[in-house]
A = this chain, B = another copy of it.
């Protein structure tokens, strides 16, 4: 019986360990911020469509203001590729807030974004907005954007959050 009793603490400890994966929220926030910043860098650089699209999940939905929902990665790839072909088009964003759920597998980012596109006369116009991205941690441990929506900030708010 002595042998059996010795394994009891081991069993209990092992069970506790397996049930408390001790999510390192600071590390998850840092990883999510890094993913968002790498994504923004790729989008601003504007040539590697594969890399830009890789930050969305296969089932992601993008809601551009005043345009139809872009539903799923194939549609998003076409949306990105088409945007990149517009002469003078550019996009970028900077993080305002990064939030990770206590479970460490879900989160959202608040960003300030900007789009530059030609107007009807071909003059480039830059619009500033606020973007919310909802993120889900994938099975491989990487963060993927599942929801992407933004709208314009008021002209008076230019330069603010």
Contact = CB atoms under 8 A, between A and B. Distances in A.
Interface of A: 1, 4-5, 8, 11-12, 15-16, 18-20, 61, 63-69, 99, 101-103, 105-106, 108, 110, 130, 132, 134, 136, 146-147, 149-154, 156-157, 160-161
B132 A132 contact: yes
A98 to B, nearest CB: 13
A154 B5 contact: no
Given A65-B65, A101-B106, A106-B106, 13 more contacts: A1-B1, A1-B5, A11-B12, A63-B132, A65-B152, A66-B151, A66-B153, A68-B154, A68-B160, A69-B130, A101-B101, A101-B136, A103-B103
Given A4-B5, A16-B19, A63-B151, A161 B106 contact: no
A97 to B, nearest CB: 9
Nearest to A101: B106
Best-surrounded residue of A64, A99, A106, A147 (most CB of chain B within 10 A): A106
A67 to B, nearest CB: 6
A136 to B, nearest CB: 8
Contacts of A12: 11-12, 15
A15 B13 CA distance: 10
Contact of A67 (B66, B132, B154): B154
